[in-house]
Amino acid sequence: MTVEPGQIPQPDTSINDRARPNENAGDSRENDHGESGKSRLTTPEATPDTASAAKPDTARSALDRLNNAEKKAQANAEMASGQLLFERGRYKQAIAHFQTALSLSNPVGSRGGEIQLWLVNAYIASGREAEGLALCRKLIVHPDLDTKQQSKRILYILEAPELELKPEWITKIPDLASMDDDSQIRYAQRPKKPRRRKPKPEPEPIDLSQVNTADNQFVWIALIGIALTLGGLFWLS
């Protein structure tokens, strides 16, 4: 390359242009190697533990997919089932139904407060007094007035001190199983004898000698008058 006098020499770009294809080729090779390397990477297979941990609770997820109307209907059904089981003495199963009904209801609403009151009773009846007392103390500050008042009454009963009974207040009943046959015969109820009716007193005979017969003539006069009247009526007819 020749440079005439008075001209500024320009850099030769042909060398750079010749080097660019090689650079582009190197970049393409790097991209090919990188993509091939990435394609070789595989994700680790999920183990049974991770699969079970990733699996959601089907029952809870099914409840979450319900709308408000369906949740309300399901909560009422769970509440009714819990009440029926509670009345039959199956308290542990009743607790499960009450808890499900509470998860489908508003806990600070009147319906949620009613469910929690039933849950308190179920806790106490099943022997879980600590959980019942803890929940009952929380319900004292419940927004619903009725729930607040009932929880105070229940807590007052649960925390009331035991009444000491005096011996004179207790009536001792003998144990019939520990008594012998003779004692049982003495304490057995005897059949009642039929009561005898007293005979009616017979009327005393009338003493005719003491009867005053002086006024009987007026009776005869009246009888004669009646007979004459009847005879006259018969004759006129």
> Is the confidence at residue 69, as pLDDT, over 90?
no
Write the pLDDT tens digit of every residue in 105-116: 999 999 999 999
Where is average pLDDT lowest: 17-21, 57-61, 65-69? 17-21
pLDDT of residue 71: 86
Q: Is residue 67 part of a domain?
A: yes
Q: What is the CATH number of the domain that holds 108?
A: 1.25.40.10
For tokens 């009888």, the residue is: 223
Write the pLDDT tens digit of every residue in 198-213: 777 777 766 656 655 5
Q: Is residue 201 part of a domain?
A: no
Q: Is residue 83 part of a domain?
A: yes
Question: Pick the residue with more confidence: 77 or 15?
Answer: 77
> Is the confidence at residue 51, as pLDDT, over 60?
no
Count CB neighbours of 139 within 10 A: 20
Joined together, the tokens standing for residue 209 give 């000698």
> Is the confidence at residue 136, as pLDDT, over 60?
yes
Q: Is residue 77 part of a domain?
A: yes
Q: How many domains does the chain have?
A: 1
> Is the confidence at residue 66, as pLDDT, over 80?
no
Q: Is residue 106 part of a domain?
A: yes
Q: Is residue 107 part of a domain?
A: yes
Write the pLDDT tens digit of every residue in 142-195: 999 999 999 999 999 888 776 666 677 777 776 666 655 555 555 555 666 677
Distance CA 188, CA 39 (A): 99
> Is the confidence at residue 98, as pLDDT, over 60?
yes
Distance CA 114, CA 230 (A): 93
**Percent over 70 (pLDDT), the chain:** 53
For residue 142, give its domain range: 62-158
Count CB neighbours of 120 within 10 A: 25
Q: Is residue 20 part of a domain?
A: no
Q: Which amino acid is at 230?
A: L
Longest dimension (CA), the chain: 200
Write the pLDDT tens digit of every residue in 80-97: 999 999 999 999 999 999
Q: Is residue 85 part of a domain?
A: yes
Q: How confident is the model at residue 101 (pLDDT cuts 50, 70, 90)?
A: very high
